[in-house]
Structure 1
Amino acid sequence: MLTTPTIHVARDRFHLAWDPAIPAIETVPSGGVVEFDLLDASGGQLTASSTVADIATLDFARVDQVNGPIAVEDAEPGDTLQVELLEFEHADWGWTASIPGFGLLAEDFPDPAYHVTQLPKGPRAEFLPGIRVPLAPFCGEIGVAPATGPLSTIPPDAHGGNMDTRHLTAGATLFLPVFHAAARLSMGDGHATQGDGEVCGTAIETPMRALVRLTVRKDLHLTAPEFLTAAGPAADRPVGRRYVTDGIAPDLLTAGRDATRRMIDWLGREHGLEPVIAYLLCSVAVDLRISEIVDMPNFVVSAHCPLAIFD
């Protein structure tokens, strides 16, 4: 640990809604550093020894918990909370699942699936034999007390929340609008790595240690989250060629689904993956990108798979 935290937040100090009525559990001065010890998104219900049968017994009232809230002195409505993401340390394992009724292709995959990945200290993890994915840990959930509540921790909103933005790695800085006195930041949902889009609804979910610095910005006034990426390549895919499949449709959601379906087909055709495993891999390592949004009535969403994962 390069920076000494002002306070430590244990993994049992969490809440399950974004709600301005939830009081802060700790207070730090502007510029204070907070260390979070976080459970995985299942709230500890899934483990490295879990099986697909355990998906059926998940208590969804306990998923996507966030730890906090942490009050920041001098933060007032209209200010911005600057969140410097200093360190992320994932556990030695993580899980990826297809959960019935959830995910971009929920209708295509009605049955549950569960996959465990062992996570080394190095830059890549073996997702499957012959497939190694780059690790770039971050937290899917980061936010402040919303303007009104309670709100679910599943969808994101102007206060932040479950943004699942893979570029919020160590070295990045997140800027959140403040809606209530003391801002009251919470975070959770550790991801060892994720593709842009998190298409199956889960990344490589993992317990996480996170270290952040919280600074009040009186000179910056925002209406939604903004961020500055890390200076290094932490969230970038390996340099090299990609195989890309396009989805073309009159709305972005349909185009995204079609691009993902075609990528699943390609992963089966070229690499022998069964469809549900290809779907999980897409969520972990394939990036959905908008290629065209002006040539109405049709738009293009492209699914990018880095070929380096097959090296």
Structure 2
Amino acid sequence: MRSGTFAHFRPDIRVPLAPFPGVVGLAPAELGPHLTSPPRQVGGNMDIRQLVAGSTLYLPVEVPGALLSAGDLHGAQGDGEVSGTGIEMEGRLTLRLSVLKDFPVTQPQFRAPPEPTNLWSQGSYAATGHAPDVMSAARTALEGLIRHMQREYRLTLPQAYVLASTCVDLRISQIVDAPNYTVSALLPLGIFG
């Protein structure tokens, strides 16, 4: 699958595909078995949709041989993966590995290429949430956007949640105005035909 193709959610809704691996990580220094989720300082199930072809991911190596794990390929996903899944896909992942001895990182960092889709070219509709913790603010913003999608686009509640997970971005709009954080949930209008 390549960028530039679409998943058809409904005849009037097309989600642009921009494939990426949901899981990329190295083994942590702590002994014992480790799941890829939750993500941690060495990566794992980070679900960062910007890690598309052409990205560079920097991870701290904590064990000899690094022990790379990668997979969980997604065709598309909004920032937040709000219903627990993006558009999952089968595919082949090709990685090029290097060890950078003079480039210390303690948490994953990355360089991303320009956005591979024109998902945001027609603007967006957003709902906001304000609360003393980011999770509550995100829930409030998402609930407002879900209601909008149900009303404006006649989606059922499950359809709205699934669509939100594939293309809605959750963004932290502000953390400075105590006691509340602001999270915005943005729906790209370019998906609607």
Paired position in structure 2 for 1:30: none
Identity %: 49
Pick from 171, 190, 193: which aligns with 1:308? Answer: 190
Q: CA deviation at 1:122?
A: 4.4
Which residues of structure 1 form unaligned runs of 5+?
1-88, 91-120
Q: CA deviation at 1:233?
A: 2.4
Q: CA deviation at 1:190?
A: 0.5
- CA change 1:250–1:235 in 2 (3 A) is farther
Paired position in structure 1 for 2:82: 199
1:270 paired with 2:159, answer no
User: CA offsets per residue over residues 199-247 of structure 1, 9 Å max, x none?
Assistant: 01100011121111000101111111000001x3216633121000001
Letter matched to residue 247 of structure 1: G
1:251 paired with 2:133, answer yes
Which residues of structure 2 form unaligned runs of 5+?
none
1:184 paired with 2:67, answer yes
Paired position in structure 2 for 1:222: 105
Q: Secondary structure at the match of 1:280?
A: helix
CA distance in 1, matches of 2:118, 2:106: 27
Q: CA deviation at 1:281?
A: 0.4
TM-score, normalising length: structure 1:
0.60
CA distance in 2, matches of 1:233, 1:179: 31
1:294 paired with 2:176, answer yes
CA distance in 1, matches of 2:118, 2:33: 35
Whether the 8 Å contact between 2:4 and 2:117 is mirrored in structure 1 is: no
| Superposition CA RMSD, Å | 1.4
User: CA offsets per residue over residues 241-299 of structure 1, 9 Å max, x none?
Assistant: 10000011111000001111111100001000011110010000100000111101011
Whether the 8 Å contact between 1:167 and 1:235 is mirrored in structure 2 is: no
TM-score, normalising length: structure 2:
0.95
CA distance in 2, matches of 1:236, 1:139: 20
- CA change 1:236–1:250 in 2 (3 A) is farther
Letter matched to residue 126 of structure 2: V
User: CA offsets per residue over residues 38-69 of structure 1, 9 Å max, x none?
Assistant: xxxxxxxxxxxxxxxxxxxxxxxxxxxxxxxx
Paired position in structure 2 for 1:13: none
Paired position in structure 1 for 2:19: 137
Whether the 8 Å contact between 2:50 and 2:115 is mirrored in structure 1 is: no
CA distance in 1, matches of 2:182, 2:87: 27
Q: Secondary structure at the match of 1:245?
A: strand
1:150 paired with 2:30, answer no
Q: Secondary structure at the match of 1:212?
A: coil
Whether the 8 Å contact between 1:166 and 1:235 is mirrored in structure 2 is: no
Paired position in structure 2 for 1:283: 165
